[in-house]
Structure 1
């Protein structure tokens, strides 16, 4: 049975998920060791910096999406952010990422936020089809990036 829940309720998955994200988004962690990122990630589940929503099937971790205070140092005035959307390859193509993203959007709206931001280098079309608007293009981490926003 598929459930969506906050990672803080499932701490046994924290280190593994941090490692997956470190591998999936290596350009963002180029100046940080895996151990340092794992420590920051664990702390973020409790201090609100990196609240992660996870998808679990009978306790097996399938994917995640984050609600982050700050996900782009170049634009510290913006936030909150949809961050670190990831679904394991064997669980893709079933709408899981969309369910995770929608729950993050609903949570941000419930907390009184009028908009949510994200940045991506390779999924701008995916997000545009789901109501996200392109705000600007920029260069970071050696790739062209898209800064996007969604009204909640």
Structure 2
């Protein structure tokens, strides 16, 4: 399978397509993605960043890096968010490649510790992430798992 990982910051023309794709996958308002990607393109700070896996101009996976992914531990930042691989492409290592790419890219930018929240219990460990703690989700009664990726 041939695909490439692209930073939205390097290809501003894909912003609308990427924002629409994330919106469809996660149900977060389209405007929120567009605003975050505009901040990314403005290059005012390292975070936020957005990454897309493209196969023949089709988005097959993606993720972002934001300050906080809707939880109460504002001190655990930045957060990898919105990790998603199209169902017909799962099991091909795309999410792992995206995770490795983002960790390497953020380290080059001076951020070597990243966090993410998830309800998965074994997926992220395959890619060097470690369970850190449980966190309270914003606006919900539930808790979720917080993972950390530290430098080697």
Does TM, normalized by the shorter one, top 0.5? Answer: yes
Q: Which has the higher helix share?
A: 1
2:124 aligned with 1:127, yes or no? yes
Contact conserved, 1:49 with 1:70, CA < 8 A, in 2? no
Q: Secondary structure at the match of 2:100?
A: helix
CA distance in 2, matches of 1:74, 1:51: 21
Q: Distance in 2 between matches of 1:81 and 1:24?
A: 18
Asked if residue 138 in structure 1 is aligned to residue 135 in structure 2, the reply is yes
Instruction: Verify the 8 A CA contact 2:22 2:33 in the aligned structure 1.
Output: no
Q: Secondary structure at the match of 2:9?
A: helix
Q: Distance in 2 between matches of 1:3 and 1:66?
A: 16
Distance 1:139 1:17 in 2: 28
SS at 2:16 equivalent: helix
**Alpha-carbon contact 1:13-1:61 (below 8 Å) kept:** no
Return the alpha-carbon distance in structure 2 between the equivalents of residues 114 and 41 of structure 1.
21
8 Å CA contact retained: 2:71, 2:135: no
Secondary structure in 1 matching 2:72: helix
Distance across 2 between alignment mates of 1:56 and 1:75: 32
Q: Which runs of 5+ in 2 are unaligned?
A: none
Q: CA deviation at 1:102?
A: 0.2
Tell me the residue number matched to 2:61: 63
Extract unaligned runs of 5+ from structure 1.
none
Q: Does 1:36 align with 2:31?
A: yes
- Residues 147 and 102 of structure 1: CA distance in aligned 2, closer, same or farther (over 3 Å): same
Among 95, 98, 101, the residue aligned to 2:96: 98
Q: CA RMSD, aligned part only?
A: 2.3
Distance 1:74 1:37, change over 3 A: same
